[in-house]
A = this chain, B = another copy of it.
Amino acid sequence: MAEMFDSFKEHSIAEFFKKNRHMLGFSGKVRSLTTVIHEYVTNSLDACEEAGILPYIKVEIHSMGDKYKVVVQDNGPGIPRELIGKALGQMLAGTKFHRYMQQRGQQGIGAAGCTMFSLLTTGKPIHVISAHNGTAVSCDVSIDFKTNKPVVKNIVERPATFHGLIIEGFFGDVKFDKGQYGPLEYIKRTAIANPHATIELITPDGEKYLFKRSIDRVPQKPKEVKPHPLGIGPHDLIEFAKASNAKKLSSFLINDFSRVTQKKVNELKELLPDIDFNKDPKALSWQEAERIVKAIHKIKWIAPQTDAVIPIGKEQIEKSLNNVLKPQFVTVVERQPRIYRGGIPFVVEVGIAYGLTDESFPFKGSVMRFANRAPLLFDAAGCAITQAVKSIDWKRYNIQNFDEEPIAVFVNLSSVHVPYVSAGKQAIANEEEIVKEIKNGIMEAARTIKTFIRKRYKAKEIEKKRKALLRYVNRLSEDLAALSGFSQEELKQKLMQLVEERYKLGGG
C-alpha cells in the first residue's frame, strides 16, 4: 500500500498552467492568438495609464508558415532592467496582484503565460526591448518551468531617448481570423472602451487598421485605496495587523482601513468593552478579530470610497459606439458606484446601440462585455453580464427577438477587484450585487431604446399611411377633374398638400 506514495511530488505554478493552459485562455487556435494580443495590449494600457501617458500601441501579426510572429510595441514607461525577467518570465510576479487598485491586469500571470505558450508551441523565448529611464535593454526571456523562475539571455544595453516596450514572440497552434473571437474584433472593442488610446493593427495579410484616439486626455490615474472595514474578514484583519507599523489596535484600524475614525473606534470599544484597543495589533487573536469583525457589521459606516473606481464616462462611450459601430441610435447609462461583498466598490456602465448595419457591425443581438475597459470575448455563458442580459424581458422594451435584431449591448464593469471566474479572465463571477446592478443598468438604458423604437415604429406607420393615401391621390384627382371640370394637375397638387400636411408636419 505504501508504494502509491512513492510518486509524491511538488509542482510549480508554471507546471500547473503548462498542463492547464486552457485555464489561461490558450485553447483553440483563434482564441489563443487573441489571448496573446489581449495580455500584451492590456499590460500596455495599464502601464501607460499609470505613467500618465496617452497610449499608442502598435500590434503586428505576421504569418510564418504554420507559426505566427506577434510584435506589440507601446510608448509606455518600459520596464526596469532588473524586473524584465520577472515581469515576463515568472508567474504570479508583478505590481498588480497585491494592490487594491483598478487595473485591467490583476493577477501577474498574463504576460508570463504568453512566454510559456511561446515556449510550448515554438520552443522560442520572447524577445524584449524595454526603453526605461534613458536606457534601452534588449534581451530574450523564457521560463524555467520546474521552478517558475525567469531565464534572461542575450542582454544588450544602450542609451535611449525614447521610452516604451517592444515584445516580439513566435507562437504556434494559433490562427488569425476576423470573426467575433479574433484579434481584430478584440482590438476594435478595446478601442471602443479606450477612446484615449490609438491602436494600430497590421494583419498577416498586410492590411492596416488604425483606431485613432477620439479623446486627448489620459483617464484619471487609478488610485490605490485602503480596504473598507465592511469588506474584511477576521483572517484579513490579522494579516493586515501583522503587516502594520501601528503600535496600537486603535491606530491600526484608523490607519489601515478607509472610513475608520476615532469616533468609529469608540463605537467599537463600546460594543467590545473587554478588548484592549491599546494592545499591539500583532497580538490580535482569532477570537478577538472575529469579534471585531462582528462589531464592525453592527455599526453604521459611510460607504466605501468610490473615487478609486474610474468609469469610462457616458460621453466617451457614446462617442466610441457612434464612431465604431455607426448605429442609428445610441444610449448610454453611467450608474452610481456600488459595493459588492460588503466592501469592494464597482461601477457599471451600459450602452445600447440599435440599428447596426452589416458593414459596420455584422453581429446580431451582440453583448459586448468589458471589465476595467478590457474586452471579454470568451466564456460568455458563465459571465455575470451575459446572465444579466439574458434575464431581461426584451419584449417589454419593443425588442421582439434579441438574438436576431441589429442591437449591441455594451457593459463595462469597473472595480478595484473584478471577480473573474478563472485565471483566463474572460468571465465575471455571478456575484449577486453585480448581476443586479448590471441588470438595472440595462433596464435603464433599455427604457430609452424602447421610446426610440416606438417612435421609429410610429414613424414607419405614418409613412405607410401617407403612402397609401398618396396612391389614391392620382386616381381621385382624375375622377374629381372629370366631375368638376377643374384641372387634374391642380387638384392633385391640392390633395397631395393635404396629405403631406396631415402626415408629414402634423404627425400621426
Q: Which residues of A contact B (CB under 8 A)?
A: 1-2, 4-5, 7-13, 15-16, 19-20, 22-23, 27, 47, 50-51, 77, 79-80, 83, 86-87, 90, 92-95, 97-99, 107-108, 119-124, 132-133, 163, 173, 233-235, 238, 286, 289-290, 379, 381-382, 419-424, 427, 429
Q: Which of B11, B122, B132 contacts A92 (CB 8 A)?
A: B11
Q: Which of B2, B10, B51, B421 contacts A90 (CB 8 A)?
A: B10
Complex: A419 Cα to B86 Cα, angstroms: 29
Complex: A390 Cα to B102 Cα, angstroms: 37
Output the nearest chain B residue to A236 by Cβ-Cβ distance.
Answer: B120
The smallest beta-carbon distance between A316 and chain B, in angstroms, is 24
> Given A120-B233, A120-B235, A422-B423, are A9 and B93 neighbors across the interface (CB < 8 Å)?
yes
Residue contact A8 to B94, C-beta cutoff 8 Å: yes
Residue contact A10 to B51, C-beta cutoff 8 Å: no
Chain B residues near A86 (CB-CB < 8 A): 8, 10
Chain B residues near A95 (CB-CB < 8 A): 4-5, 7-9
A-B contact pairs, 23 of them (CB 8 A): A1-B132, A2-B132, A2-B133, A4-B77, A8-B87, A8-B94, A9-B94, A11-B92, A11-B93, A16-B92, A16-B97, A19-B97, A20-B420, A22-B421, A22-B429, A23-B421, A119-B235, A121-B235, A123-B286, A123-B290, A124-B286, A379-B421, A381-B381
Output the nearest chain B residue to A87 by Cβ-Cβ distance.
Answer: B8
Chain B residues near A93 (CB-CB < 8 A): 8-11
Complex: A293 Cα to B79 Cα, angstroms: 37
Chain B residues near A233 (CB-CB < 8 A): 120-121, 173
Residue contact A429 to B27, C-beta cutoff 8 Å: yes
Residue contact A11 to B423, C-beta cutoff 8 Å: no
Residue contact A234 to B421, C-beta cutoff 8 Å: no
The smallest beta-carbon distance between A218 and chain B, in angstroms, is 13
Complex: A427 Cα to B83 Cα, angstroms: 36
* Seed contacts A5-B80, A7-B95, A8-B93; 10 additional CB < 8 Å A-B pairs: A1-B133, A1-B163, A2-B132, A10-B93, A11-B93, A13-B92, A22-B429, A27-B429, A123-B235, A381-B381
Chain B residues near A27 (CB-CB < 8 A): 429
Chain B residues near A77 (CB-CB < 8 A): 1-2, 4
Output the nearest chain B residue to A234 by Cβ-Cβ distance.
Answer: B123
Residue contact A4 to B50, C-beta cutoff 8 Å: yes
> Given A22-B429, A235-B123, are A108 and B11 neighbors across the interface (CB < 8 Å)?
yes
Complex: A7 Cα to B2 Cα, angstroms: 46
Complex: A316 Cα to B233 Cα, angstroms: 46
The smallest beta-carbon distance between A65 and chain B, in angstroms, is 11
Taking each of A16, A233, A429, which has the highest tally of chain B beta carbons within 10 Å of its own beta carbon?
A: A16
Q: Which of B10, B123, B419 contacts A22 (CB 8 A)?
A: B419
Complex: A384 Cα to B128 Cα, angstroms: 38
Output the nearest chain B residue to A119 by Cβ-Cβ distance.
Answer: B235
Complex: A20 Cα to B422 Cα, angstroms: 8
Residue contact A92 to B10, C-beta cutoff 8 Å: yes
The smallest beta-carbon distance between A224 and chain B, in angstroms, is 9
Complex: A94 Cα to B10 Cα, angstroms: 7
The smallest beta-carbon distance between A11 and chain B, in angstroms, is 4
The smallest beta-carbon distance between A81 and chain B, in angstroms, is 11
Chain B residues near A19 (CB-CB < 8 A): 97
> Given A382-B381, A422-B423, are A13 and B13 neighbors across the interface (CB < 8 Å)?
yes
The smallest beta-carbon distance between A270 and chain B, in angstroms, is 22
Residue contact A7 to B99, C-beta cutoff 8 Å: yes
> Given A92-B13, A123-B286, are A422 and B5 neighbors across the interface (CB < 8 Å)?
no
Chain B residues near A120 (CB-CB < 8 A): 233, 235
> Given A13-B13, A235-B121, A429-B27, are A83 and B4 neighbors across the interface (CB < 8 Å)?
no
